[in-house]
């Protein structure tokens, strides 16, 4: 629905259309999404360390901000979303994806949050000020900046330039810092005299690198397919991948970071053996 406000047309609401081209199969698509969301919620509510606590908080917000609405679209066809609600969802999505990037770079928690908020707040205002005189159907399961801006009939050049700048400031800067830090870490690890110490250090580094690969590969696919793959990548493929981008890290991070901890190892052994007490099996 579009309402006229003086000289500009401002969207009162949008219609989230789910996965374009796969409307008849969205019910089946919802089951793996729902399963991953349940696993993520169950695995992340008891973080064991400060780093995992920050990562868990970020992942929980990202999941809970998008997946419940996507499931409402798939199951109940509740596709309508208010303009202000859409902006709020967009703010949290981009803020906490940026925050997760900072956490993976091992920044201080407050610094990652403030960086995300300060960089994403302009997105919200730039998008709110755009005129919307065309359609109001978003071919997506949630509101992201690029998808919403494409519905505007105004000039979105400032939005596009600012979006690229934010991506470079967050993603590019964090990746550069990660490369530099890991180069230094690996140089220090190879100088350790104990083979056991080297093995433990490499295990920790491998777990962290796996989490980084999970997050950044899907994040860059989403970013570049929006800007350069619009006519070559099927919309349904893009929508499914970006939803997996929000679901896979929360699902995999507890496994990647916790598989070597005693608590999780005991839990896995207890499930596999049917025993109530796995202490005798733990290392």
- Predicted confidence (pLDDT) per residue in 111-159, tens digit: 888 888 999 999 899 999 999 886 789 989 999 998 899 899 889 999 9
> Strand, coil or helix: what is 13?
strand
Q: Residue 8: phi, psi to the nearest 5?
A: -105, 150
Domain boundaries, the chain: 13-261
Quote the pTM value.
0.81
> What's the fold here for domain 13-261?
Rhopdopsin 7-helix transmembrane proteins (1.20.1070)
Encode pLDDT of 237-248 as tens digits.
Answer: 989 988 988 888
Run of H or E including 137 = strand 137-138
Q: Exposed/middle/buried for 237, CB within 10 Å: 0-12, 13-18, 19+?
A: middle
pLDDT digits (tens, 9 = 90+) for 185-215: 888 888 888 888 888 777 777 777 777 887 7
Q: Rounded to whole angstroms, how far apart are CA atoms 148 and 226?
A: 12
pLDDT of residue 253: 74
Report whether 156 contacts 164 (CB < 8 A): no
């Amino acid at each position: 629905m579009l309402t006229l406000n003086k000289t500009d047309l401002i969207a009162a609401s949008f219609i989230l259309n789910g996965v374009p081209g796969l409307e008849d199969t969205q019910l089946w698509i919802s089951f793996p999404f729902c399963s991953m969301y349940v696993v993520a919620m169950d695995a992340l509510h008891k973080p064991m360390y400060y780093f995992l606590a920050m990562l868990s908080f970020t992942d929980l917000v990202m999941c809970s901000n998008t997946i419940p609405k996507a499931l409402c679209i798939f199951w109940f066809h509740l596709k309508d979303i208010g303009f202000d609600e859409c902006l709020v969802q967009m703010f949290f999505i981009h803020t906490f994806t940026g925050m997760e990037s900072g956490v993976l770079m091992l920044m201080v928690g407050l610094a990652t949050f403030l960086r995300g908020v300060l960089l994403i707040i302009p997105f919200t205002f730039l998008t709110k000020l755009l005129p919307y005189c065309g359609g109001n159907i978003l071919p997506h399961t949630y509101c992201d900046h690029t998808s919403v801006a494409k519905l505007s009939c105004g000039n979105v050049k400032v939005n596009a330039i600012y979006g690229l700048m934010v991506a470079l400031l967050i993603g590019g800067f964090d990746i550069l810092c990660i490369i530099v830090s890991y180069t230094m870490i690996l140089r220090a690890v190879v100088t350790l005299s104990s083979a056991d110490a080297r093995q433990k250090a490499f295990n920790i580094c491998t777990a962290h690198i796996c989490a980084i690969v999970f997050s950044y590969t899907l994040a860059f696919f989403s970013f570049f397919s929006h800007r350069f793959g619009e006519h070559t990548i099927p919309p349904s493929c893009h929508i499914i991948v970006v939803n997996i981008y929000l679901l896979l890290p929360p699902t995999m991070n507890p496994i990647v970071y916790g598989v070597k901890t005693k608590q999780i190892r005991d839990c896995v052994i207890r499930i596999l053996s049917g025993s109530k007490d796995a202490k005798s099996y733990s290392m």
